[in-house]
Amino acid sequence: MKVLVTGGAGYIGSHVVRQLLLRGDDVLVLDNLVNGHREAVGVARLEVMDLSDNAGLKRLMKAFQPEAVIHFAAFIEVGESVRNPLKYYQNNTANGFSLLAACQEAGIRKFIFSSTAAVYGTPKAVPIPETASLAPINPYGFSKLFVEQALRDLAAASDFRYVALRYFNAAGADPSGEIGESHKPESHLIPLVLQAASGERKDISIFGTDYPTPDGTCVRDYVHVNDLADAHLKALDYLKDGGESRVFNCGYGHGYSVREVLDAVKRMTGKDFSVVEAPPRTGDPAELVADSRLLTEILKWKPQFDNLNAIIETVWNWELNRRY
Ligand SMILES: NC(=O)c1ccc[n+]([C@@H]2O[C@H](COP(=O)([O-])OP(=O)(O)OC[C@H]3O[C@@H](n4cnc5c(N)ncnc54)[C@H](O)[C@@H]3O)[C@@H](O)[C@H]2O)c1
């Protein structure tokens, strides 16, 4: 299939691009490289372009004529979205709308959207089903929810169909060690802990030790990026087979606490590092765990890396031989 991947030079996008290429899809990556890496796209074609470039988008759609679009391009820092909300509404929401308009004009009817567990805000219960109330607690979550709403409305008004994947905590790296997570600044726990293990970072902070969780630290559902990538391929096939528009949670349905992650990294790497206990961050829910039964039942998703050690091993492999 001919697939346009926005943000395909970023962390999750590059893992999806790699799997699409492996199965023989024709892929074009659109990325402005603001947070992405040219090396991450491998042999895929890369168009360095900003999503806000309407004329460029139009030209690209006409030249490439994709059958489907997978849309990753966005800003991803929750804290920054609180400090600078318009930056997020501009890039994640307004540019998302521009892309949808370009798709509509080009007659593209299959669309996969990177949504987030942040659309749920602080959940009333875990695991969180897709039907839970949507109540973001930061501009990042709202910036994504607005796109989800536009997708719903567009699908209701036309024969456009979409899958929105609400990722929980993406983690891990491709076992080849050729691509992995490289955010600057890095804010995700597992790469940060491994950077502490490798000596690149002097310590690691635990934000909050008094949460109502078994060991008092926050629990998150870490989903390996290759399993996440596989969910995108399955979503594409689902739309190709005529599947109706749907939203799916992407997670394993169980989580690990911050302390469990730290202990697992120390065990696996054999390295010790200092841990600083810091106050909780505002808006950090105690536990975020996906109810992902729909993904397994409807998309027949079969995760291969549902194991914290497997996730850590692939990140360690990446951190030790990092290419970008
Ligand atoms: N990483 C996670 O745990 C997580 C969790 C939930 C949702 N998501 C969503 O998944 C998507 C990908 O996340 P990621 O971790 O790979 O982020 P990333 O920053 O690594 O990748 C995003 C890519 O989009 C590109 N980009 C951003 N704005 C652009 C623009 N205006 N024009 C062209 N390119 C642009 C960046 O250069 C980057 O390569 C995002 O939409 C994010 O909101 C990520």
Query: From the CA of 77, how far away is ligand 1's center (Å)?
Result: 10
- pTM for the model: 0.98
Query: From the CA of 176, how far away is ligand 1's center (Å)?
Result: 22
Range 286-293 average pLDDT: 97
Which residues make Cβ contacts (< 8 Å) with residue 267, sequence separation at least 6? none
Q: Between β-strands 219-220 and 256-257, what pairing exists: parallel, antiparallel or unpaired?
A: antiparallel
Residue with CA closest to ligand 1 atom 26: 73
Q: Map out the domains of the chain with their CATH numbers.
A: 2-171+222-250 (3.40.50.720), 189-220+253-320 (3.90.25.10)
- Give the pLDDT confidence score for residue 111 in this predicted structure: 98
Indicate the SS3 state at residue 198: helix
Chain mean pLDDT for the chain? 97
The ligand 1 atom nearest the CA atom of 33: 37
Segment 114-134, tens digit of pLDDT: 999 999 999 999 999 999 999
Segment 194-215, tens digit of pLDDT: 999 999 999 999 999 999 999 9
Please say if the pLDDT value at position 283 is more than 90.
no
Which residues make Cβ contacts (< 8 Å) with residue 261, sequence separation at least 6? 189, 190, 193, 222, 308, 312
Please say if the pLDDT value at position 282 is more than 90.
no
Q: Could you tell me how many residues make up the chain?
A: 324
Asked if residue 167 has its Cβ within 6 Å of ligand 1, the reply is: yes
Between the CA atoms of 15, 16, 18 and 24, what dihedral angle is there, to the nearest 10 degrees? 170
Residue 12 and residue 172: Cα distance in Å, rounded? 10
Indicate the SS3 state at residue 70: strand
Segment 94-114, tens digit of pLDDT: 999 999 999 999 999 999 999
Residue with CA closest to ligand 1 atom 1: 170
Asked if residue 114 has its Cβ within 6 Å of ligand 1, the reply is: yes
For residue 203, the cross-strand partners are 274
Percent of the chain with pLDDT over 90: 97
Is 11 annotated in the active site? no
Structure-block tokens of residue 167: 């990722």
- Determine how many CB atoms are found less than 10 A away from the CB of residue 175: 15
Q: How confident is the model at residue 306 (pLDDT cuts 50, 70, 90)?
A: very high
